[in-house]
Amino acid sequence: VGLPIGGQDPTIPMGLVVGREIELFGSHGCAADDMPDILRLVASGRLNPSALVEQEVGLAEGAKAIMDMDNGSPLGITMVTFSNDDGDDDNTSSGGVGGGRRSRL
């Protein structure tokens, strides 16, 4: 989500890439095989994923936040949160949908 930036697809001069033997690298995340190690680091406190969160928005602002990513904003992760309508926000969850009174996507 959020790539490419702006309304145009990026152009890459492949003649220069080949001629200069330039290497291109990209990533859409991490390999599924790496997840157990990453989760162990988070559980042990050695890795703090909340440091990557740039902003937290409510569900009503979620669609706008996704559209803003097309313009390169924000640079970090946007977390979309929502609350159940029962008025009890004491029980929170950072898991998936429906994991508690407040859930994060």
Residue 4 is predicted with a pLDDT of: 57
Helix (H) or strand (E) holding 53: strand 53-58
Please check whether residue 76 is in contact with residue 53, taking contact to mean a CB–CB distance below 8 angstroms.
Answer: yes
Residue 41 is predicted with a pLDDT of: 95
Mean of the per-residue pLDDT values for the chain?
A: 74
Domain ranges of the chain: 14-104
Residue 70 is predicted with a pLDDT of: 75
In order of 7, 27, 70, 94, the CA distances from 1 in angstroms are 13, 12, 8, 21
